[in-house]
Amino acid sequence: MALHFKQSPEKLDKEAIDEYLFHCKNLHQTPSDSFFKHTVYGLRSLYKILNLPDKKIALPQIHRQNNLPIVLNKTEVRALLNSPKYLRHRVMLGVLYGCGLRSYELCDLRCADIDFERKTVFVRKKKGHTDRYLPLSDLLARGLKKYIKNDHPQDHLFYSQVSSDGDRHAITTRAIQWIIKESRSKIATKKKFTAHSLRHSFATHLLEDGMNILTIKDLMGHKRIETTMIYLQIAQLDNHSKFSPLDTLYKK
């Protein structure tokens, strides 16, 4: 780490530590991730000796590998976004994927959270997360403007159907699940994906398109870099291309 930054590790901030861990993870892709684990253990020991508990705590915990999430390819995402009959449902799916939102974050979105001039979407903190701003794509902005003009939402950006009391209530996670289920049956895929799969696809596609994983961590609202690092095992990256021996078996 000292050679990498040309600076003593005790003087580095958490962002620099995260950057170095990402460098190690990206440089040494082994089945056991042994190099990465030993790097983390070594840094923990170093910061313990230097009596820097804050930096020791900031290092990722090494957990047993969880199941990898389901990710849609871009062809499947395009088909999914075009599948709903109603514009409102298409725009909702577009926001889920285009901003990488959790379902409850989509339910909480207000009209005031969309800034078309600055091209941002504001996501307020919940469940221990922090507030964050997300980029608003031009394609999604056009869809949102058309939806707002047609449906005239007042406070929340998306509403469920009018209830028996005549009031309009914010969309629910159950309603989002229903939209995903209905749309899933209309596209050519066998993947059993959920609304959260669009969030996983968002992160994976950004990584494959060349975005730095530290930036993706901020966009996802992750507290710890190791949560974002799972996408390194999913993304098809040019510097870690994977192929079958059948691809080269008959090559001269």
- Out of 97, 147, 159, 231, pick the active-site residue: 231
- Out of 55, 89, 156, 199, pick the active-site residue: 199
d(CA 163, CA 144): 24
Dihedral of the alpha carbons of 164, 165, 170, 173, in degrees to the nearest 10 = -40
Residue 127 designated active-site: yes
- Out of 37, 44, 56, 196, pick the active-site residue: 196
d(CA 53, CA 51): 6
Residue 6 designated active-site: no
- Out of 127, 152, 251, 252, pick the active-site residue: 127
Residue 156 designated active-site: no
Dihedral of the alpha carbons of 41, 42, 44, 46, in degrees to the nearest 10 = 170
Residue 152 designated active-site: no
d(CA 205, CA 227): 16
What are the structure tokens assigned to 19, written together? 């950057």
d(CA 226, CA 2): 21
- Out of 55, 89, 102, 156, pick the active-site residue: 102
- What contacts 45, CB < 8 A, 6 or more positions away? none
DSSP 235: S
Catalytic residue numbers, as ranges:
102, 127, 196, 199, 222, 231
